[in-house]
Amino acid sequence: MSVSLFSQKDNGTVKMERFVEDLLSKMTLDDKIGQMNQLNLEGINDTLLTKIKAGQIGSMLNITDPKEINLVQETAVKDSRLGIPLIIGRDIIHGFKTIFPIPLGQAASFNPQIVEDGARVAATEARERGIHWTFAPMLDISRDARWGRIAESLGEDTYLAGKLGAAVVKGFQGNDLSSDNSLAACVKHFVGYGASEGGRDYNSTNIPERLMRNVYLPPFREAIEAGAVTLMTSFNDNDGIPSSGNSFLLKDILRKEWQFDGFVVSDWASMSEMLSHGYAVDRKDVAMLAANAGIDMEMVSETYVDYLKELVTEKKVSLADIDNYVRNILKVKYRLGLFDNPYVDTSKVSTAYSERHLQTARRAAVESAILLKNEDVLPLHVNQKIAIIGPMADAKHDQMGTWVFDGDKNYTVTPLKALQRGYKNVSFIYEPILNYSRDKNKTFFEKAKKAVGEADVAVVFLGEESILSGEAHSLSNINLIGVQSELLQVVKSCGKPVVLVVMAGRPLTIERDLPYADAVLYNFHPGTMGGPAIWDLLFGKENPSGKLPVTFVREVGQIPMYYNHNNTGRPAQWIPTLDEIPTEAQQTSLGNTSFYLDSGDKPLFPFGYGLSYSKFKYSGLQLSSDKIKQGETLMVKATVKNVSNVDGDEVVQLYVRDLVGSIARPVKELKGFTKIHLKAGESKQVEFQLTPEELAFYGRDLQKKAEAGDFKLWVGPNSAEGLEGGFSLQ
Ligand code: BGC
């Protein structure tokens, strides 16, 4: 199978290869090493321009002023010996100017088209400003909500992250990388970074090869098959080997097995950090280890420019490897069209924040919100008087979430602004009470009571400031921070219906808050258009359809908890509450099974969960056969009926369980999902095709195959419910 667009040897590819070989033949070793060097913009100054003229830089990141981009580009093209243009990179993680929901939020849409459209908007806004390359999507499987970077992830599930990751790549890159609305994608962080010990950023991981292949690697492969042209290594050491020095991952798997022919960039100083890891003795050693492991381009730490030449002369790094690395980089530059036109047209009118982009972001925010609870409070009526309480109701900066370098908070439409603009006739009282999520000042709590007393319903906007999630922003306690829970309790004590709207960078532990809210709408930081999306959902103009891309735990101590765990030899059986345990109970009186005495074995909300204003009924599960052979396809059908009087969307999910394998298999695995629209009273038959390829995994012999045997299967609304069937693979 062809694994990237490069492998399709059409005329264009042949032409590109000729061009690259010709250029390569003219390059000195110094020229080559220069291409492998990426620098951060520390200001436009003589040192930078001199390096560019000398051909010592192949790429820059964080240069965003189009005039500056043209200046460095002109220096590279006109003043360096070979005139090779620079590739300009930037972290465009969930939007460039128009900010979309954080990736974890977008994952809740379970809708590849939503994430593709979002990436396309980002690519359009960024490329027209001269940026060629984004460091996204992040495909790290994240099963730990303490880890701040869970915000950037597509959640805990391999299948979901693979499908959505491929859609992001499609959105960024389009069909033609050289077009003026395409960005080169960079799948990151390769690999396992999401499993950092204790959720502490940059920490070690201990993922054995089989788990790596079954859980952590597949989304990368899928995104590469979708055409991703670059890949970034990760900061973690896995079982002692830092990713930027791991030739097994970068050479054996990525290049040999997957035939990846884009280029690999190290993460920020992750190469020189091999010194701190205690894996390299000095910077020269760093360069040698990384070059021999398979890193094509070094981000910021400049060990390649300082030592590669010496290392090649000493035959510690091969020239053939260097040539390949440079080829990989030049091909991406070629495909981006940089050799034809390296410049950005500064006269071009910006499409940033265009109505179309804003509406695309609003749609994404609508589909990313998850209704977790609703006891007959929602939707609200426009004639109800609303008390708007809480620090996230008008937090223009924080609503955008982490990794927003270019988005302007003045374009953010907060819930407060959205109500004033879009629902002019609604009467409301606004009392933030707390200035920001960590604010511990309870002085104004009385004001909350007064406001709620005068209203028919309270809508309380709580959550996390954007700075509390993202890179290097891990937390050991993931309750609502500060005195927000107390504020919610005060509001509830007024006796009015309470709607809790959360905006956060991670799944927070909100079990203690649920009794104080009659309805909960959860938003991972929803971006520029979060405000209008939220009111449209609260007023029922839109119907919530988001589903959890990650398990919500009851207590932080349950982490890691994810739906697709193994069964263990002693799955949980009877689980008493702490109070039910008799005093002086005998050691074995509780049964010896796997659970926490104080929080059981179940999460607060399972993966895939999310409510709607509609009610959906699942029936009529049909399998095309109760047996399939290798090479055959099983057709799985089920009928979903909207048994309510409200139109709505439902994400129908297919899970399987491989009952016995050469290794223990997860209790459930997502193998299909589809979002359908059902009018009130309407029913549709949903069809999934399941092939043995999708049932394949790396078993005891580390070969990927579907093992014969019996399977259970579910079609349902989340990972804990569904119609159950079974089949066998022969
Ligand atoms: C992050 C990457 C990011 C890079 C460049 C690093 O600290 O881990 O995800 O792309 O910086 O900004």
List, for residues 512-549, the tens digit of each pLDDT value: 999 999 999 999 999 999 999 999 999 999 999 999 99
Cβ–ligand 1 distance for 91 under 6 Å, the answer yes
- Mean pLDDT of the 184-203 span: 98
Under the banding of pLDDT at 50, 70 and 90, the label for residue 10 is confident
pLDDT at position 154: 98
pLDDT one-digit tens code per residue, 572-595: 998 899 999 999 999 989 999 999
Ligand 1 atom with least separation from CA of 135? 10
- The answer, yes or no, to whether any atom of ligand 1 lies below 6 A from the CB of 471, is yes
In angstroms, the Cα distances linking 512 to 201, 479, 486, 556 are 27, 9, 10, 12
Assign 3-state DSSP to the chain and report helix, strand, coil percentages, each to 5: 35, 20, 45
Give me the pLDDT at residue 608, please.
Answer: 99
Q: What is the pLDDT of residue 389?
A: 98
The predicted pLDDT at position 574 comes to 87
Residue 3 has pLDDT above 70, yes or no: no
Atom of ligand 1 nearest to the CA of 62: 12
- Ligand 1 centroid – CA 270 distance (Å): 10
C-alpha 285 – ligand 1 centre gap (Å): 23
Give the closest residue (by CA) to ligand 1 atom 10: 135
What tens digit of pLDDT does each residue of 689-713 get?
999 999 999 999 999 999 999 999 9
Question: Which run of H or E residues covers position 672?
Answer: strand 669-678
Residue nearest to atom 7 of ligand 1 (CA): 268
pLDDT in tens, 414-427: 999 999 999 999 99
Ligand 1 centroid distance, CA of 194 (Å): 14
Active site residues: 267
* Span from the CA of 189 to the centroid of ligand 1 (angstroms): 9
Average pLDDT over residues 239-261: 98
Instruction: Give the chain's mean pLDDT.
Output: 97
Long-range contacts of 36-40 (CB under 8 A, 24+ apart): 36/296, 36/297, 36/298, 36/304, 36/305, 36/308, 36/322, 36/325, 36/326, 36/329, 37/297, 37/298, 37/302, 37/304, 37/305, 38/89, 38/265, 38/297, 38/298, 38/299, 38/300, 39/300, 39/302, 40/300
339 lines ligand 1 (CB under 6 A): no
Counting ligand 1 atoms within 8 A of each CB, the residue from 88, 190, 265, 268 with the most, and so the one to mutate, is: 268
Distance, CA 268 to ligand 1 centroid (Å)? 6
pLDDT in the model for residue 31: 98
653/23 Cα distance (integer angstroms) = 50
Q: Is 697 in the pocket of ligand 1 (CB under 6 A)?
A: no
CB 188 near ligand 1, within 6 Å:
yes
pLDDT tens digits for range 291-332: 999 999 999 999 999 999 999 999 999 999 999 999 999 999
pLDDT at 61: 98
The arithmetic mean of pLDDT across residues 480-486, rounded, is 98
| Span 147-179, pLDDT tens digits | 999 999 999 999 999 999 999 999 999 999 999
Task: Provide the token pair at 25.
Answer: 């033949």
The whole-number pLDDT of residue 57 equals 98
Average of per-residue pLDDT across 495-499: 98
Residue-wise pLDDT for 651-689, tens only, equals: 999 999 999 999 999 999 999 999 999 999 999 999 999
What is the percentage of the chain residues whose pLDDT exceeds 90?
A: 98
Q: What is the pTM of this model?
A: 0.98
